[in-house]
Amino acid sequence: MSTEAEKTIQAVLSGDEILAEPDEVSLKYLGKGYGIREDKKVKYSPIEALYLTEIGKMEIFDGSEGKLSFQELLRRFQQRDPNIWRDYVVYRDLRKRRYVVKEGFGKELRFRVFERGKYGKEPAKYLVVPIFEGRDVTIKKLEEWMAISRKMRKELVIAVVDRRNEVIYYKASLVDLRNV
């Protein structure tokens, strides 16, 4: 008989890193776009670890406190990154829509998102910027994000998180008004 622990990724929180042995379960999820291979381990981002913990596919242990709950992980990650909840809400929504989501480029261009069925075959199609509803974003900032996404040949998507933690997506594109 298999135990529940055998069906979940067994990971360790070590400083800022969430690491697991490359066993059957972690390698299965690696193929689904969770984690990266690094130095004979599988390393997970805080967002990935939160999501896998919430859906019951990962157990994270800390040497001093034992198994960590979702709430405890969230509390710890919020100490380092005050936007972790906003980013997590967007990540969770995209994953529930069956997209593969990987770390992006910095705090603003937060996620790279792959088209369904294209992970591992093609580069990410989208760069996603999560923002809270009601936060101001300057035109200059939008232009900067657009320029970076165009250089990377990706489509820019703004993910707006409202006060009910629902996400609305806006695809950003350039318009040439000279030809209108």
Same fold, 4-80 and 84-179: no
Other CB atoms closer than 10 Å to residue 51's CB: what's the count? 22
Per-residue tens of pLDDT for the chain, all 180 residues: 344 445 899 999 988 889 999 999 999 999 999 999 998 999 999 999 999 999 999 999 987 768 999 999 999 999 999 999 999 999 999 999 999 999 999 889 999 999 999 998 999 999 999 999 999 999 999 999 999 999 999 999 999 999 999 999 999 887 767 766
SS (H, E, C) the chain: CCCHHHHCEEEEEECCEEEECCCHHHHHHHCCCCCEEECCEEEECHHHHHHHHHCCCEEEEECCCEEECHHHHHHHHHHHCCCHHHHHHHHHHHHHCCCEEEEEECCCEEEEEECCCCCCCCCCCEEEEEEECCCCCCHHHHHHHHHHHHHCCCEEEEEEECCCCCEEEEEECCCCHHHC
Global pTM reads 0.90
User: Which residue, chain included where needed, has tokens 């593969």?
Assistant: 100
- Domain ranges (residues) in the chain: 4-80, 84-179
Gap between the Cα atoms of 70 and 52, Å rounded: 9
Gap between the Cα atoms of 156 and 90, Å rounded: 15
The pLDDT, as a whole number, for residue 146 is 94
Between β-strands 155-161 and 126-132, what pairing exists: parallel, antiparallel or unpaired?
parallel
CATH for 4-80, options being 1.25.40.10, 3.40.1170.20, 2.60.40.10, 1.10.3720.10: 3.40.1170.20
Gap between the Cα atoms of 21 and 153, Å rounded: 34
Give residue 75's Cα distance to chain centre: 17
CATH 3.40.50.11540 fits 84-179, yes or no: no
Which residues have a Cβ under 8 Å from the Cβ of 167 and sit 6 or more positions away?
Answer: 89, 90, 93, 159, 160, 161
The pLDDT, as a whole number, for residue 1 is 37
